[in-house]
Amino acid sequence: MLYNFCSQSNCSDGEYSSAALVSDGAGNLYGTSDGGSPGGGTVFELSPDGDGSWNETVLYNFCLAVVGCTDGSGPTNVILDRAGNLYGTTTDGGAYGYGAVFELSLVGANWTEKVLHSFAAGGDGAYPSAGVIMDSAGNLYGTNIEVVYELSPAGGDWTEQTIYNVGSYAPLTIDSAGNIFGVTSGPSAHTVFELSPNGKGGWNPAILHTFCGIPKDGCSPKGPLVFDGAGNIYGTTTSGGVKNLGTVYKLSPVTEGKNKGTWTEKILYTFQGGKNAEYPEAGIVFDAAGNIYGTTEHGGKDDAVYEGAGTIYELVAPKYTEKVLWSFDVADGYQPVGSLILDGEGNLYGTTWVGGSSGSCPDGCGVVFEVKPGFTMALKPGSASVAPGSPATSTVTVSAAGYFVGAVNLTCTVPGGDGLSCNLSPNSVTFNGTGSQTATLTVDTSSTTPAATYTITVKGNSGSLTQSAKFKLTVQ
């Protein structure tokens, strides 16, 4: 855990974050929260301190009112441009009370806000609940509950135009050709759409997929879409699938034949619930090996309480087998609903809506977290029975968790003074990001080893990371 919100008096540092984070080139993290002072939400920065701790700085406090807060109220996600300026939206406030698009710029030692557009609930829509994206020309695109819009810089001002008369609660995605992709999950349609420039300043819409063929399909897409290098689209649905607990899906373009120009869908994973993950509210991220990472609002080890406090999951390519990397337990976070970001070392960063150690909120005020790559260990069989003088063996399986790169050194220990010894072959395994490696544990007994049950400990070490597993040997 990097930071507990509401660590300062009157929650002036913010509370309740559902935002995805964004990172600059120096390793600082930026995001948004509710609360702050006077309480209309914050844009914050988290900076590493060099000793493993992080410092939080509130860069901007929004006004607390729907009407009269011309600077906006209730910030959503932010993005960074190459000059270090931050752009985002507010759900409420602005000149008309229907939300705004803003820019934060560092002027001297202070951050200054500029409202780029205030929504008026007319043809430009209202109440944006997602942030914006930026194209290579510096134009901004976003969604609100009524439309998809474009903001273009012009002589120090910004002009707004509606480019699609369909509302969405999810962020947009743009490809290298300038096409815009998004999802809708309204009462009448659950779709993936594409907007393509028509060369005349307008946009051509196309529906790529319509959801809700439960149980074979997902329903209620909410998170942002992600592209792979081959042009396939990946996303999540909050519900649907075999157990109606959500899915991860892939859309692939058809490039030849009578269906050329259409897209085909494949469900990569349907969430199982219980101690596994359930209800993904956010999008996904890829690592270099094509493994998928994301969060779910519920599920995990504490499923009997709060429907589970949520998970961080990995889908291991190419079969996309689910692995729960972290189960939240309220004390360390609860309800991660924002998308993750992945750094170059394989570390994952995100936020939780509630949870954490602050007592100022009923279930905690939310946290910012980091999950580092690592490894897990398992023994099979976990026990054996032998006669004195006979050996026993077990297979040690070491698996990468997250995109783990490095060597794991294996050691074993036995109780002393009883004629027992152990060895591992090999005694080191190496990972390049994914997969599992095995070693053989051999425990030797002597003819004089007393009849009893002994515990043999196998440890794996890689730098500061340590895992262990126990093997029970009964000498009869």
Tell me, yes or no, whether 308 and 391 share the same domain.
no
CA distance 151 to 134: 9
pLDDT, tens digit, 9 for 90 and up, residues 185-194: 877 789 999 9
pLDDT at 305 over 60: no
Give the list of residues 6+ apart from residue 472 with CB closer than 8 angstroms, or none: 382, 383, 384, 453, 454, 455, 456
Token digits for 221? 């897409």
pLDDT at 306 over 60: no
Tell me, yes or no, whether 381 and 368 share the same domain.
no
Tell me, yes or no, whether 346 and 216 share the same domain.
yes
Q: What was the pLDDT predicted at 408?
A: 97
CA distance 143 to 99: 11
- Residues above pLDDT 90, as percent of the chain: 82
The CATH code of the domain that includes 431 is: 2.60.40.2310
pLDDT at 155 over 90: no
pLDDT, tens digit, 9 for 90 and up, residues 47-85: 998 778 899 999 999 998 767 899 999 999 999 999 999
pLDDT at 448 over 80: yes
Token digits for 406? 């490095």
- pLDDT band of residue 385 (cuts 50, 70, 90) is very high
Mean pLDDT of 433-440: 90
Residue 16 Ramachandran class (φ > 0 left, ψ -120 to 50 alpha, else beta):
left
Q: What was the pLDDT predicted at 454?
A: 95
Indicate the average pLDDT of the chain: 93
Tell me, yes or no, whether 335 and 414 share the same domain.
no
Grouping H, G, I as helix, E, B as strand and the rest as coil, residue 46 is strand
Sign of CA dihedral 364, 366, 370, 373: positive
CA distances to 22, 140, 186, 254, 347 from 312, in Å: 18, 30, 27, 32, 12
Mean pLDDT of 236-248: 96
Mean pLDDT of 405-430: 93
- Which of 345, 372, 399 is the C-terminal boundary of a domain? 372
Q: Contact at 8 Å (CB) between 222 and 207?
A: no
* DSSP string covering 384-412: EEE-TT--EEEEEEEEEESSEEEEEEEEE
Q: What was the pLDDT predicted at 187?
A: 74
Residue 318 burial (CB count, 10 A): 8
- Which of 372, 401, 421 is the C-terminal boundary of a domain? 372
Q: Contact at 8 Å (CB) between 297 and 336?
A: yes
Question: With 0-12 CB in 10 A as exposed, 13-18 as middle and 19+ as buried, what is 439?
Answer: buried
> Bridge-partner residues for 45, per DSSP?
30, 57
Token digits for 263? 């897209």
The number of domains in the chain is 2
Token digits for 163? 């480019």
Q: What are phi and psi of 300, to 5 degrees?
A: 110, -170
Tell me, yes or no, whether 386 and 303 share the same domain.
no
Mean pLDDT of 293-300: 94
Q: What was the pLDDT predicted at 186?
A: 76
Q: What was the pLDDT predicted at 304?
A: 54
Q: What was the pLDDT predicted at 238?
A: 95
The alpha carbon of 77 is separated from its chain's Cα centroid by a whole number of angstroms, namely: 14
Q: What was the pLDDT predicted at 416?
A: 81
Tell me, yes or no, whether 437 and 319 share the same domain.
no
Q: What was the pLDDT predicted at 407?
A: 94
Tell me, yes or no, whether 328 and 429 share the same domain.
no
Q: What was the pLDDT predicted at 370?
A: 94
Token digits for 9? 């008096």
CA distance 141 to 151: 6
Tell me, yes or no, whether 51 and 175 share the same domain.
yes
Tell me, yes or no, whether 272 and 382 share the same domain.
no
pLDDT at 99 over 60: yes
pLDDT, tens digit, 9 for 90 and up, residues 309-352: 999 999 989 999 998 889 898 999 999 999 999 998 889 999 99
- Which of 323, 346, 372 is the C-terminal boundary of a domain? 372
CA distance 73 to 93: 5
Q: Which helix (H) or strand (E) holds 31?
A: strand 29-33
Tell me, yes or no, whether 50 and 155 share the same domain.
yes
Tell me, yes or no, whether 351 and 380 share the same domain.
no
Q: What was the pLDDT predicted at 401?
A: 82
- Angle, CA of 277, 360 and 129, to the nearest 5°: 55
Residue ranges making up the domain that contains 426: 376-475
pLDDT, tens digit, 9 for 90 and up, residues 192-238: 999 999 998 899 999 999 998 789 999 999 899 999 999 999 999 99
Q: Contact at 8 Å (CB) between 175 and 181?
A: yes
pLDDT at 17 over 80: yes
Q: Contact at 8 Å (CB) between 408 and 461?
A: yes
Tell me, yes or no, whether 273 and 383 share the same domain.
no
The CATH code of the domain that includes 144 is: 2.120.10.30
CA distance 171 to 191: 14
